[in-house]
Amino acid sequence: MLTNQRVHSSFLPLLVGLLGVGVGIIAGFFAGAKPLYLCLALVAVPVVIFFFTKFEQTVMGLLILRSSLDSWFALQIPAAFAIGLDGLTLLYVIVMLLLGRPVHTDRFWWLFASWIMLQALWLILLPLGELGMDASLLPISIREWIRLFSFLMIYLLIMQLKDKLHPEKIVSLLFFSLVFPLTVALLQIFLPSVLPQVLGGGSITRIKGTFVHANNFTVYLFLFIGLTWWKLGYARRPWPWVLLLGLLVFVLSTTKTMVGLAMLCIFVIVMIAPKLSLTNLIAGVLLFAALIGLFVSTELGQERLSTITQTPLLNPDIDISRAILLSQGDYNSFNWRIAYWNYLIQAWQHFPIFGYGLGLSSYIHPDQHLPHNDYVRALVEGGIFGFTALLIFFGAQFARLVHLLWRTPPNSIQHQLCWNLLAVFIALLVGMLSENVAVSTAFYFYYWTVFAVCGWNWNEKQTWDKSMPVTHV
């Protein structure tokens, strides 16, 4: 009897999975799918099979793969990946519920789900004519909502690994996602001619790895700098992690992204501030000095750094109005940002309550650029209502991490991971002031993975090495 039940339990998920793939392929044919989509559907068959027979390995494999997909955005592969992952996650949850097996969540996931569901309000208001844009842009808003929904699904999917994989192992496996992006980045630096055009082959001035833009690559690297710093605190052999940290800082400097400098500075300050010591201070200063030195070692880096002196930030002779006038011809990216934010805020005043619609901020200005400020973007897309909801969601993330810090043993590696992630989060809040951090989709796949496992019961045997130049709280 027990044997028959086990056979039934293992056969049902496989049967449901194969039926799901079969329906998808048939629907693709009826929709006149292109050959590429048919190939993706055929690839999905073994993925679904392994998803239900080798769940842990498949989930981690898909996560590791995600950092290598952005270069093929023109083929809609990242979007197909997100939709496929959403579908697999929902299918898995349905099967588990049908089998009477537990589906793991936590309190924060339900709050996260509430915020995602709230974003669907703008999908309803747009066709009703209650927003600043018309219904013709509804597909753009739907695509943005699906992108946000995929973050919720990756959180839920990682939660299903609870009691299957140790959280420390999950975080450690994420480092394999660095292999292909870093390899491509090093080839872009030293041997760009060997790369195909889709991977930045030829001559490029700002290294972007496998990402669409150098800024997205920067945010991704920044997260792994924080995780590498965490690894250094308890590794029995620290030198491999020291070398990896040096490599990440070097590659980060080649992106020539100003926000990367700012975020790393904030990260170092948060890490060493609670327990300031000479060792911690020297380590933080050396890390930041190394990045600055690498950044200004090229003409482009010096030029980008010098542009700050011609902005209201460092030049008292230039006010906001003059910066807006200068932006028309000085090719200063920061002054251009100020002018662009001014334009968007003036436009927001026409629709202050609910804004223009989810993912539609780039359609307000004729140039159709993203705002390079996630707070301005939230304000013009969601109005006061959406902007307030975003701030509440940020506050919930902060409160969750602080609660975990209070709950975990002070010298545990889980406690230090929570602190490192809190430092990353605070640095992101600063980076969002002048960059499009919110559109860094691959980054958020890994961020929410780490965020999810931080709340698990680690049952630790290892403790943080107090001799390491890192923060203890």
Spell out the SS3 assignment of 125-183. Answer: HCCCCCCCCCHHHHHHHHHHHHHHHHHHHHHHHHHCCCCCCCHHHHHHHHHHHHHHHHH
Mean pLDDT per 10-residue segment, the chain (473 residues): 40 50 47 54 75 92 95 87 92 94 96 98 97 96 97 98 95 98 95 87 81 95 97 90 94 91 92 77 79 78 77 79 79 87 96 98 92 97 98 98 95 95 98 95 98 90 47 37
Q: What pLDDT does residue 7 have?
A: 37
Q: What pLDDT does residue 358 have?
A: 98
Q: What pLDDT does residue 202 have?
A: 63
**Runs of H (alpha helix) within 432-468:** 441-454
Phi, psi of 166 (to 5 degrees): -70, 140
In the three-class reduction of DSSP (H, G, I as helix; E, B as strand; rest coil), residue 209 is classed as: coil
| Cα distance between residue 19 and residue 266, in whole Å | 50
| Cα distance between residue 290 and residue 283, in whole Å | 11
Q: Which of 416, 369, 367 has its CA nearest to residue 227?
A: 416
Q: What pLDDT does residue 32 have?
A: 45
In the three-class reduction of DSSP (H, G, I as helix; E, B as strand; rest coil), residue 373 is classed as: coil
Q: What pLDDT does residue 39 have?
A: 65
Q: What pLDDT does residue 91 have?
A: 92
The count of other CB atoms within 10 Å of the CB of residue 296 is 16
Its sign, for the CA torsion 20, 23, 29, 32, is negative
Residues 402-453: pLDDT tens digits?
999 999 998 899 999 999 999 999 999 999 999 999 999 999 999 999 999 9
Across-strand partners of 412?
Answer: 463
Instruction: Give Cβ neighbours of residue 283 (< 8 Å, ≥ 6 apart).
Output: 272, 469, 470
| Cα distance between residue 323 and residue 308, in whole Å | 12
Residue carrying structure tokens 């991977």: 199
In the chain, count of helices (H) and strands (E)? 19, 0
Q: What pLDDT does residue 346 have?
A: 96
Q: What pLDDT does residue 298 have?
A: 75
The count of other CB atoms within 10 Å of the CB of residue 283 is 19
| Cα distance between residue 325 and residue 142, in whole Å | 36
Q: Give 370's Cβ-side CA count (13 Å radius).
A: 18
Its sign, for the CA torsion 8, 12, 14, 15, is positive
Query: What is the token pair recorded at 182?
Result: 């870093």
